[in-house]
A and B are shown apart, each in its own frame.
Chain A
Amino acid sequence: MNKPAIKNNSAISFLVGVIKANMMPVRAAVFFIILMTVYIIAKPDVFLDFRIYTAVFVSLPTIVFMAIPLVFIITSGEIDLSFPSIMGMGAWVFALSVAAGLSPVIGLIAALLTGVACGIANGLLVTKVGISALISTLGMNFLLRGIIHVGTQGYGISVVQVTGTPFSNVLVGRLGGLPIQVIWALLFAFIGWLLYSRHRFGVHIRCVGDNPDSSREMGIRVDQIKTLAFVCVGIGASLAGVFSTLILKTFYPTTGEGYLLLVLASIFIGGTPTGGGIGTILGGFIGAMDIAFIETGIIAIGFTGFWTQVFYGAIIILSLITHRGYRRFKY
Chain B
Amino acid sequence: MALLELKNIKKLFGKVHALSGVNLEVKQPEVLALLGDNGAGKSTLAKIISGVYAPSSGEIYFDGKLMTKWDVSTARSKGIETVYQDRALTEQQSIASNIFMGRELSGSMAMGFINLKKQYEEADNLMKEIGLTSKAFNAKSQVLTLSGGELQGVAIARALYFKARILILDEPTTSLSLSESEKVYNFIDNVKKEGLSCILICHNIYQAYDAADRFVVLERGRDVLNVEKKDLSVQELIDSMRKIARSARIGDDSASI
Q: Which residue of B lies closest to A212 (CB)?
A: B90
A330 to B87, CA, bound (A): 22
Q: Could you say which residues of chain A place their CB within 8 Å of the CB of B141?
A: 330
Shortest CB distance A45–B (Å): 46
Any A CB within 8 A of the CB of B14: no
Q: Does A206 contact B (CB under 8 A)?
A: yes
A327 to B, closest residue via Cβ:
B92
Decide yes or no whether B206 CB sits under 8 A from chain A: no
Contact A218 B72 (CB under 8 A): yes
Interface string of B35-61 (1 = CB under 8 A from A): 000000000000100111000000000
- Interface positions, chain B 131-178, Cβ under 8 Å from A, are 140-142, 144-145
A73 contacts across to B, CB distance below 8 A: none
Q: Chain A 240-280 against B: per-residue CB contact (8 Å), 1 yes, 0 no?
A: 00000000000000000000000000000000000001100
Q: Given the complex of chains A and B, what is the CA–CA distance between A230 and B90 in angstroms?
A: 22
Query: What is the minimal beta-carbon distance from B66 to any residue of chain A, in angstroms?
Result: 21
Residues facing B in A277-304 (CB within 8 A) are 277-278
Q: Does A7 interact with chain B (Cβ within 8 Å)?
A: no
Docked pose: A201 CA to B112 CA in angstroms: 8
Q: Do A217 and B52 have beta carbons less than 8 Å apart? A: yes
Q: Does A331 count as interface, using CB distance less than 8 angstroms?
A: yes
> In whole angstroms, what is the CA distance A201 to B111 when docked?
11
**Residues 208-227 (chain A) with a chain B CB within 8 angstroms:** 210-211, 213-220
Q: Are A206 and B90 in contact (CB under 8 A)?
A: yes
Tell whether, in the assembled complex, residue B91 and residue A210 are in contact, meaning their CB atoms are under 8 Å apart. yes
Q: What is the bound-complex CA distance between A329 and B94, given in angstroms?
A: 9
Complex partner residue of A219 from B72, B97, B144, CB under 8 angstroms = B72
Residue on B nearest A213 in the bound complex, by CB: B86
Q: How far is the CA of A171 from the CA of B84 in the complex (A)?
A: 51
Given contacts A200-B104, A203-B97, A277-B93, are A218 and B88 in contact (CB under 8 A)?
yes
B113 & A207 in contact (Cβ 8 Å cutoff): no
In the assembled complex, A328 has its CB within 8 A of some CB on chain B: yes
> Does A324 sit within 8 A of B, measured CB to CB?
no
Contact A217 B88 (CB under 8 A): yes
CA distance A194 to B95 in the complex (A): 21
Most buried by A among B94, B102, B112, B113: B102
Partner of A215, one of B50, B101, B103, B144: B101
Q: Is B2 an interface residue (CB 8 A)?
A: no
Whether B112 and A213, one on each chain, are in contact in the complex, defined by CB atoms closer than 8 angstroms, is no
Task: Please name all residues of chain A whose beta carbon is closer than 8 Å to the beta carbon of B47 when the two chains form the complex.
Answer: 217
**Bound state CA distance, A211 and B103, in angstroms?**
16
Contact, CB under 8 Å: B89 / A211:
yes
Are B142 and A330 in contact (CB-based, < 8 A)?
yes
Interface size class of B (residues with CB under 8 A): 20 to 34
A64 to chain B, nearest CB (A): 23
Quick check: is B73 within 8 A (CB to CB) of the other chain?
Answer: yes
A278 (CB) vs chain B CBs: closest residue: B92
Within 8 Å by CB of B72, from A194, A211, A217, A278, lies A217
Query: When chains A and B are docked, how far (Å) is the Cα of A291 from the Cα of B210?
Result: 64
Q: Please, which residues of chain B bring their CB within 8 A of the CB of A199?
A: 112-114
Cβ B145 vs Cβ A203 within 8 A: no
Give the residues in chain A near B91, CB-CB below 8 Å. 210-211
Q: Is the CB of B71 closer than 8 A to any CB of chain A?
A: yes
Does A128 belong to the interface (CB within 8 Å)? no
Name which residue of chain B comes closest to A197, CB basis. B116
Q: In the complex, what's the smallest C-beta–C-beta distance from B80 to chain A, in angstroms? A: 11
Given the contacts A201-B112, A331-B94, A217 and B144 also touching, CB distance less than 8 Å: no
Contact A218 B101 (CB under 8 A): yes
Contact present for A198 and B88 (CB under 8 Å): no
Contacts of B76 in A (CB 8 A): 219
- The smallest C-beta distance from A222 to any residue of chain B, in angstroms, reads 11
- Beta-carbon nearest neighbor of A331 in chain B: B94
B82 at the interface (CB under 8 A from A): yes
The proximity string for B residues 11-54 relative to A, scoring 1 for CB distances below 8 Å and 0 otherwise, is: 00000000000000000000000000000000000010011100
Nearest residue, chain B, Cβ from A207: B90
**Please, how many angstroms separate the alpha-carbon atoms of A3 and B4 in the complex?**
59
Interface contact B90-A277, CB-CB below 8 Å: yes
Bound: A220/B94 CA distance, A: 17
CB neighbours of A328 from chain B (8 A): 142, 144-145
- Give every chain B residue within 8 A of A206 (Cβ-Cβ): 90, 92-93, 97
CB <8 Å contact, A198 and B101: no
Quick check: B113 and A198 within 8 Å, CB to CB? yes
Report the Cα distance A199→B109, complex, angstroms. Answer: 11
**In the docked arrangement, what's the CA distance between A217 and B73, Å?**
10
CB distance from A186 to the nearest CB of B (A): 20
B94 touches A330 (CB 8 A): yes
Known contacts A211-B89, A277-B90; decide if A220 and B101 are in contact (CB<8 Å).
yes
16 interchain pairs (CB within 8 A)?
Answer: A198-B114, A198-B116, A199-B112, A200-B104, A203-B101, A203-B104, A206-B92, A207-B97, A214-B84, A214-B88, A215-B102, A217-B52, A218-B72, A219-B76, A220-B102, A331-B94
Task: Apart from A200-B114, A215-B101, list 11 A-B contacts with CB within 8 A.
Answer: A194-B113, A203-B104, A217-B72, A218-B102, A218-B103, A219-B102, A277-B92, A328-B145, A330-B94, A330-B140, A330-B142
A residues adjacent to B (C-beta < 8 A): 194, 198-201, 203-204, 206-207, 210-211, 213-220, 277-278, 327-331
The 7 A-B residue pairs with the shortest CB-CB distance, nearest first, are A219-B72, A218-B102, A210-B90, A214-B88, A217-B88, A277-B92, A219-B102
